[in-house]
């Protein structure tokens, strides 16, 4: 998939030449900062394609490519999502289908931001309990935003939600996790970005996710603190302290 920040420049030249009735499948996970649009919305802007689908979930390409078992979800129009699932599923690659395109895309964007926070905890050597709490509360934040913008709550407990969030916060393949870990060890975010060969999608998504939440009136303290660290130069350990000392409330 094309990283979200490059979708518009890659697909805009197609314009009216793209066959409108031909389904277009996105593998990208993120939010365009300037427009706060998700990948399927950007693709529709560029091509006016009538049938947009997204394929998302805990399926690392490095593992899928060598035949290790994985399950993901295809979201969009039900009949087309089901057809794609049947087309690409294999004995080692199982595809479910969903009509919640918005929820699946929000999960894909949000989990990368939480993964940066998970990496920061790793870099600070704060332990497994801290990471478990972060994953749980991070999922709660993403779910709150999803429900507020019209997504289906059950999506966030599925493959695109907790499934992808778990693997992104735990896998050695994760670029967002590696980025956060280096921040936790004391490197500057901008220096890390410059040194990494591949795109850190969470770095490009966090600001957009924060703006979406603010526009929807949804509180996302983890996302806010990630932004304060990666964009504003806040100290990572102090950001953790701020999260841990927020006013107490019911779960």
Euclidean distance between CA atoms 250 and 232, whole angstroms: 30
Q: Are 26 and 4 in contact (CB under 8 A)?
A: no
> Are the C-beta atoms of residues 188 and 167 closer than 8 Å to each other?
no
Give CA–CA dist 140/156, Å, rounded.
9
Q: Say which of 20, 48, 102, 111 is annotated catalytic.
A: 111
102 as an active site residue: the answer is no
* First-to-final CA distance of the chain: 36
The helix (H) or strand (E) run that includes residue 97 is strand 93-98
- CB neighbours of residue 117 within 10 Å: 32
3-state secondary structure of 132: helix
The answer to whether 51 and 22 are in contact (CB under 8 A) is: yes
The residues annotated as belonging to the active site are 111
């Amino acid at each position: 998939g094309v990283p979200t920040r490059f979708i518009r420049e890659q697909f805009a030249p197609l314009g009216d030449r793209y066959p409108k009735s031909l389904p277009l499948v996105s593998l990208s996970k993120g939010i365009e900062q300037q427009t706060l649009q998700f990948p399927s919305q950007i693709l529709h802007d560029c091509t006016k394609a009538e049938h947009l689908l997204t394929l998302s979930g805990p399926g690392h390409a490095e593992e899928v490519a060598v035949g290790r078992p994985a399950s993901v979800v295809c979201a969009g129009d039900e009949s087309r999502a089901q057809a794609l699932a049947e087309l690409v599923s294999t004995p080692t690659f199982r595809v479910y289908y969903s009509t919640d395109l918005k929820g699946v895309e929000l999960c894909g964007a949000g989990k990368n931001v939480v993964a940066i926070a998970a990496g920061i905890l790793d870099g600070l050597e704060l332990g497994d309990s801290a990471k478990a709490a972060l994953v749980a509360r991070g999922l709660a934040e993403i779910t709150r935003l999803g429900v507020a913008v019209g997504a289906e709550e059950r999506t966030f407990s599925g493959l695109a939600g907790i499934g992808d969030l778990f693997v992104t916060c735990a896998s050695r393949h994760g670029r967002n996790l590696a980025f956060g870990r280096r921040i936790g060890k004391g490197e500057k975010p901008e220096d890390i970005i410059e040194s990494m060969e591949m795109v850190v999608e969470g770095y490009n998504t966090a600001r957009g996710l924060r703006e979406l939440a603010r526009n929807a009136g949804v509180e996302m303290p983890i996302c806010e603190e990630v932004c304060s660290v990666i964009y504003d130069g806040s100290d990572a350990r102090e950001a953790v302290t701020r999260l841990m000392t927020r006013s107490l409330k019911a779960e």
